Structure 1
Amino acid sequence: MLDKIAKQFDFQQRALNLRAYRAEVIASNVANADTPYYKAMDFDFKQALKSADEASRKLGLHTTDPRHIAMSEGDSHRLGAQLMYRSQVQPSLDGNTVDMDVERAAFTENALQYQTTLTFLNRRISSLNDAIRGGQ
């Protein structure tokens, strides 16, 4: 019974995890705004969510012997996100590609989308809670 309820939130959980990871990537760009030769990075959220959704439907690797090597991937690959260098808007003398205006806009948009997903989840949980209580 609880598995069916938990399945209702799988997609939103993946979306929240990717949004949180994107916030980390953008924060890293901001933190390195003055680092010479630092290249700003980001990922395509839509593609990452699609990859994470497809990966969740695949069967995992099963080892039958303790000597088998388990498959391990980094968090970004597990989430379906492939980091790419952000294209340079205005060249800087020190080779740094971080544009603070672009980073602020990306961070704000990402935070807004994160909050929207949380609001959607809260409403969904409230409606399920009402259904369980019988609409009282």
Structure 2
Amino acid sequence: MGSDDALFGIHGTALQIRSQRMSMLASNIANAATPGFKARDIDFNKALDAATGQQAGSVDDAVEGNVGYRVPVESSLNGNTVELPVEQTQFAENAVQYKTTLQFLQGRVDTVMQALKGDQ
């Protein structure tokens, strides 16, 4: 683990994983009409465990090891597995979780800044 773990805990890693997940979900949405496109997603909890557990590796390795293809509820004729409402919901949920993590980290930074300035 890095030197920022005492200050940020797992939240810095969580933010990186959420960012990569947001990109993947955005790609799914962007390719909703692409024939043969297979929607993918990151299992956030497994990726976080892989990145922060006893056998912790890099965030990129943890993410790559926990990417899976989405199984659609309804098959499309063109082989595309993107279900737009599902992807939009997952994207929105992930965005809220990303913002919450970011706000937590900002609070930690603000606390440290106040301590350094001697504010009470």
Asked whether the two chains share a fold, i.e. TM above 0.5, the reply is yes
- Report how far residue 94 of structure 1 moved: 0.8
Q: Would you say the 8 A contact 1:18–1:81 is kept in 2?
A: no
TM-score by length of 1: 0.75
**Aligned match of 1:127 in 108, 111, 117?**
111
The residue that corresponds to 1:46 in the other structure is: 45
Paired residue secondary structure (1:42): strand
Paired residue secondary structure (2:78): coil
Structure 1 residue runs of 5 or longer lacking an equivalent are: 59-72
Q: Would you say the 8 A contact 1:91–1:97 is kept in 2?
A: yes
- Report how far residue 54 of structure 1 moved: 2.2
The residue that corresponds to 1:33 in the other structure is: 32
The amino acid of 1:106's aligned partner reads Q
Q: Would you say the 8 A contact 2:42–2:63 is kept in 1?
A: no
Q: Would you say the 8 A contact 2:42–2:67 is kept in 1?
A: yes
Runs of 4+ in 1 over 4 A off after TM superposition: 55-58, 78-81
Paired residue secondary structure (1:118): helix
With over 3 angstroms needed to count, the CA separation of the structure-2 counterparts of 1:127 and 1:40, relative to structure 1, is same
**Aligned match of 1:118 in 82, 102, 111?**
102
Aligned ranges 1:44-123 → 2 under 5 Å: 44-54=43-53, 57=56, 76-79=60-63, 81-123=65-107
Distance 2:14 2:50 in 1: 11
Q: Percent same amino acid at aligned positions?
A: 40
With over 3 angstroms needed to count, the CA separation of the structure-2 counterparts of 1:131 and 1:81, relative to structure 1, is farther
- Report how far residue 90 of structure 1 moved: 1.3
With over 3 angstroms needed to count, the CA separation of the structure-2 counterparts of 1:54 and 1:95, relative to structure 1, is same
Aligned CA RMSD, in angstroms, stands at: 2.2
TM-score by length of 2: 0.84
Q: Would you say the 8 A contact 1:76–1:82 is kept in 2?
A: no
Structure 2 residue runs of 5 or longer lacking an equivalent are: none
Higher gyration radius (CA): 1
